[in-house]
Amino acid sequence: MHAPQAITLDHEAVANESKHWVRLTAACNSKCIFCLDAEAQDGRFMTFDDICVEVRRGREEKNASRLVVSGGEATIHSRFHDVVAYAKSQGYRWVQTVTNGQKLADRDFFLRAVAAGLDEITFSLHGHTPELHDHLTKTKNGFENLMRAMIRAVRDGRVIVNVDVCINRQNVEHLEAIVALCSRVGVREFDLLHVIPQGEAFEHRAELFYDVDAHSEALRRVFRYARVPGFHIWTNRFPVQHLEGLEELIQDPHKMLDEVGGRRVQFRRYLDEGTPIDCRDAQRCPHCFIEPFCSALDRHVARGHEGGFDEFAVGSNFALAAHAPSGVRWLGVTALPESPLGPLRVPATVVPPETLLPAGSRVVVERADQLPAALALGVEVEVRLDRELAAWLLENPDSLNERCVLHAPTRAKASESLALDPDWRNFFLALDRRVRVENLPACLAPGTRLERAPRRLDTALFHTDGRWQIDAFVDEYVGNHYYAKSLRCKACPVAASCRGQHLQSLRAHGFAQLQPLEGEWAIDASAQLAAWPTDDPDPRLAAGAPPQAPAFRIPVAANAPVPFIDTEAGRRS
């Protein structure tokens, strides 16, 4: 394993540790011109009792071991130290705060925080000089106070100290100077946050938004610190296509849950009532890190209305077939009783399926020993490839016939992709057969017959009352729909009908695997893909975001209802 891949796995392990955020205030003693949260800041301070409920909820419902105490600005809450101590008493292993550092400049305040059990302080520093930092944060003496607090915390040695920086047009060329400044006082961990079009940041977009390409040199100079021993660099909301060659810096995609959680009320109203999301417009969304998620959600809703799904996954609950959206070809069902085979798809007209599979069914195999039995059924066979099965097929290529579709599964984690995926391109070159292939971009399946993977609607996405489960959709998105392309893809003849490769594969194996098509394969693949619909950009957004219809509902009795609680922190729904 290369060192960057090891960093990716380390980042994945940290990112997947269950973390709970609790907001102490909707107030702040700074006025950052890129504040994402300004609209929510109405000056409120949460009561200590409410905060304690929220702290306990993180342990009880999420089994979180890390608590992030945030605001607004958490340190201006009069019970800040009590909250830290209470969190420790509830069993949190690690308590962190994210702060502008103004209150922590006071020695006694800092010492009380450490005594209460604070483990980590993340200082928000946005400039290498007082002029730049104080201008961006609109805080008099902000830089001076923050640096005093940071130096004290580092010298004290009992807390982990790190820094987050909002990258914007004003500071992008000074990022290295910011890192150098912090490094001189002993800080080596940085979270670099890309500015996004929300809150005050959108109001100040002329001053803040920047062209990533135009500043790629400055950005890469800083990103490369990730490979300097002793330094830890994280990116946050940074457009992934600009991290080619530094894939270990791609933010863990499961963080999307936090991003979506912050806008949960809006997503809920969109899905339940069809209320347009305030920020859904062609000016903003192209600058937004969440854009692929919002477009995937729109596409799912649109497909449900327009008959765009191929498969309706009902598991073993055939009663749900009655709710199948129009246009569905297949019911996705779990394995038949006592069958050695995996899941299967049966024609949507067959309810329940007979033990003998009707024509038009498709069975799924994941192991070589399943293949003969599956082929004997006389139906289509989806061969879900991993490295072991791919190696077996290279030894036994005649096992495949016209009814086999080689399927490249997406993986929930980069570590799984690293452990399980074959080298796709070299596998198909070595196989050297015109096999049917789905779920891969053309550059990774040379010489094959490219097929579009079935579009699947899973009943696990719905509550008992038929409403969409937002968190379940985030998981579905991260696991199955989070794709990206290389900047090079612009030069590829099939770019318009290609969505790229799944993000976890890119994190594990790099963007370098994506190479624009050339020669005969370019002509062949272009002809094959000519009939495919384009998947990107989202057609509704491109059309200027017309009013949206509420999402369709599918009541799923087996799914536990999770009430939507419209609280300040935004909850599961």
CA distance 286 to 144: 36
Q: How far apart are CA 507 and CA 509, in angstroms?
A: 6
Which residue from 304, 306, 374, 310 is spatially nearest to 347, judged by alpha carbons? 310
Rounded to a whole number of angstroms, the minimum distance from the CB of residue 281 to ligand SF4 is 7
Judged by CB under 6 A, the residue of 58, 127, 142, 197 near ligand SF4 is: 197
Does residue 175 bind ligand SF4 (CB under 6 A)? no
Minimum distance of ligand SF4 from residue 237's CB (angstroms): 10
Residue 498 within binding range of ligand SF4, rule CB under 6 A: yes
The piece of 22-30, 235-243, 298-306, 498-506 that touches ligand SF4 (CB under 6 A) is 498-506
User: At residue 192, what are phi and psi to the nearest 5 degrees?
Assistant: -100, 115
DSSP 245: T
Tell me if 485 contacts ligand SF4 by CB under 6 A: yes
DSSP summary character for residue 78: T
Among 33, 149, 294, 333, binds ligand SF4 (CB under 6 A): 294
Answer for the pair 248, 4: CB distance below 8 angstroms, yes or no.
yes
Q: Is 54 in the site for ligand SF4 (CB under 6 A)?
A: no
Tokens of 178: 């910011």
Q: Does 500 engage in binding with ligand SF4 (CB under 6 A)?
A: yes
Residue 380 touches ligand SF4, criterion: CB under 6 A: no
105 binds ligand SF4 (CB under 6 A): no
Among 317, 334, 399, 515, binds ligand SF4 (CB under 6 A): 515
Sign of CA dihedral 122, 124, 125, 130: negative
> Which residue of 325, 353, 516, 539 would you call a contact of ligand SF4, by CB under 6 A?
516
Q: Is 514 in the site for ligand SF4 (CB under 6 A)?
A: yes
Binding status of residue 489 toward ligand SF4 by CB under 6 A: yes
- Distance (Å, whole) CA 362 – CA 314: 15
142 vs 510 by CB, closer to ligand SF4: 510
Q: Would you call 522 helix, strand, or coil by DSSP?
A: helix
Interface positions, 199-258, toward ligand SF4 (CB under 6 A): none
Nearer to ligand SF4 by Cβ, of 44 and 452: the residue is: 452
Closest approach of ligand SF4 to the CB of residue 506, in Å? 10
Q: Among residues 59 and 269, whose Cβ is nearest to ligand SF4?
A: 269
Cα–Cα dist 563/555, whole Å: 14
Q: How far is the CB of 534 from ligand SF4 (least distance, A)?
A: 12
Q: What is the DSSP letter of 14?
A: H
CA 557 to chain centre: 28
Residues 6+ apart with CB under 8 A from 113: 75, 80, 81, 84, 97, 104, 121
Q: Measured from the CB atom, is 288 or 385 closer to ligand SF4?
A: 288
Closest CA to 127 of 100, 184, 166, 75: 166
Closest CA to 250 of 440, 477, 486: 486
Return the number of the residue (243 or 288) whose C-beta is nearest ligand SF4: 288
Does the footprint of ligand SF4 cover residue 290 (CB under 6 A)? Answer: yes
User: Which among 560, 562, 561, 555 is positioned nearest to 319, based on CA atoms?
Assistant: 555
Q: Is the dihedral of CA 488, 491, 496, 501 positive or negative?
A: negative
Rank residues 168 and 486 by Cβ distance to ligand SF4 and give the closer one: 486
Only segment of 67-75, 213-221, 275-283, 454-462 that touches ligand SF4 (CB under 6 A): 275-283
Number of neighbours of residue 474 by Cβ within 10 angstroms = 23
| Closest approach of ligand SF4 to the CB of residue 240, in Å | 13
537 binds ligand SF4 (CB under 6 A): no
Residues in region 400-459 near ligand SF4 by CB under 6 A = 441-443
User: For binding to ligand SF4 (CB under 6 A), which residues are involved?
Assistant: 197, 263, 277, 279-280, 284-285, 288, 290-291, 294, 441-443, 485-486, 489, 492, 494-495, 498, 500-501, 514-517
